[in-house]
Chain A
Amino acid sequence: MPNTIQSFLVRNRYKIAIFVLLTGASMFCAFLFVARMAYSDSQQYRGLVWNLFLAWIPFGLAFLAHSLSWKRTWLYLAIPFFAFLWLIFFPNAPYILTDLQYLNRVTTPVPLWFDIILLVWFSWTGVLLGLVSLYLMHEIVQRNFGRWLGWIFVLIVSGLSSAGIYVGRFMRWNSWDILGNPTELAMDILGLVIDPSLRLLAFTTLFAVFFLFVYLTLYTFAHLFREQVEQTAPQKAAKNKS
């Protein structure tokens, strides 16, 4: 039995490492907020803690979906459901980046640099949660439908989530309104589609391109490791020979 646990841990060590790192970072974010509250007696930025919690939902869903996706029977039953829920909640992760706008009206006695560090911690944790969960979903799609569809999936998700952030930031809708208040939300979105404002177009494009850039850079960065592994492997073989 301990052997199975050990082999499970070894097999999933990077997944676990990411989970632990992100949990630690989230706890640290909460700690920074509490420290700020204790210092200044103001509840400003409490919304960030809630937003970070929301950013964890798509991550948890993607994690579950990814673990289930290895079993063929689950794949066609549960995955579409998970994928749908994931897509609804996904924009909450990169959404935290737009919270940086609160720097624009700092009124508390806390020094500005502290607020910047606080917001940077929150926003990067949120973005990384989003990127990892997108990767897990990307992997499921790629495994079942091939490489090209995998990348098209990433493209669509970046576009949709940028639009989702816009709807959340400027029209103040939440993820769960899709289930709680679908008709009014649909009307609002229809209005946007028929008559898009310049702000909508500029914001969505800039955000989608930004998100793609970050994802692609992370993806390539990871493959840089492989270059290293490939380059060192022959050297080792040569060393062993001599």
Chain B
Amino acid sequence: MNAFLKNFAHNKYRLTIFSLLAGASIVCVGLVRFRISVTGSGHYVFMIWNLILAWIPFIFAYITYTTSIRRRWLYLIVPVGAFLWLIFFPNAPYILTDFQHLAHTGDDVPVWFDVLLLIWFSFTGLFLGMVSLFLMQEIVRREFGRWVGWGFVLFVAGITSIGVYVGRFLRWNSWDIFANFGSMAQFSLYYILHPTTRSLIFASLFTSFFLFIYLTLYAFGHLLLERASKQQGI
């Protein structure tokens, strides 16, 4: 019991984030259910599915991070966890692109409600992504140092934007890497050799956005940390 309490105190903030994000997801689902009960149309049900997909990389990162503390596990499980995480990661920022559904809803719902609903979903999804990216960056930083850690973030931001593009415009899913590897590889190769302006603009705008948010959160976190330790006289 004592060990349990100690464990809890040790992971206090990680558990709080977990419950905050879980609570936000419940609110999101509640909003969709409410919308269904009022309109009778199942218009935004797919958002729940997208939110579940956004949770997958978070859970992978959480598990990987927890196991990575033990040296023994590091070289066995972490690469597998990191690979799975990377494949599913684009699903988290992908939710941002779901704003496009605002442009054509035929339902009799005031637009402000749909805006609020989509804002709830997109912030929850993006935070899930940011926290999981931070956990993975920590693993990399601990093993390979600070610079490699930031290189990792840059790399992930770029890859993710391409992933979001592939999901949004070419309609591939994360699991197609396993199920449809051949045709997906062919397709991707074709697109890498013949990039469109749309894909270039989309990917660069999305990457810079993602990096901006992550860096701001990072700087904000350190600002807060600094003040807190100054107050306690550490």
Contact A224 B17 (CB under 8 A): yes
A residues sitting closer than 8 Å to B (CB atoms) are 14-15, 17-18, 21-22, 24-25, 28, 32, 97-98, 100-101, 103-104, 106, 111-114, 116-117, 119-121, 124, 128, 131-132, 135, 139, 143, 169, 199, 202-203, 206-207, 209-210, 213-214, 216-229, 232
Q: Which of B48-56, B76-84, B94-102 contacts its partner?
A: B94-102
Partner of B226, one of A14, A120, A232: A14
Partner of A104, one of B17, B31, B111, B227: B111
Partner of B219, one of A14, A119, A120: A14
Which residues does chain B contribute within 8 Å of A216, judged by CB atoms?
20
Nearest chain-A residue to B31 (Cβ)?
A206
Q: A139-B227, A217-B17 are in contact. List 7 more A-B contacts (CB 8 A).
A: A21-B215, A28-B208, A98-B112, A124-B213, A206-B116, A220-B17, A223-B13
Which residues does chain A contribute within 8 Å of B115, judged by CB atoms?
97-98, 100-101
Check if B205 is an interface residue, CB within 8 A of chain A: yes
Known: A104-B103, A224-B17, A226-B13. A120 touches B209 (CB 8 A): yes
Contact B223 A15 (CB under 8 A): yes
Contact B202 A117 (CB under 8 A): yes
Partner of B216, one of A22, A32, A97: A22
Check if B140 is an interface residue, CB within 8 A of chain A: no
Which residues does chain A contribute within 8 Å of B97, judged by CB atoms?
113, 116
A19 to chain B, nearest CB (A): 9
Known: A113-B168, A210-B123, A227-B11. A222 touches B20 (CB 8 A): no
Contact A25 B120 (CB under 8 A): no
Which residues does chain A contribute within 8 Å of B131, judged by CB atoms?
221, 224
B174 to chain A, nearest CB (A): 20
Contact B17 A221 (CB under 8 A): yes
Partner of A224, one of B134, B205, B229: B134
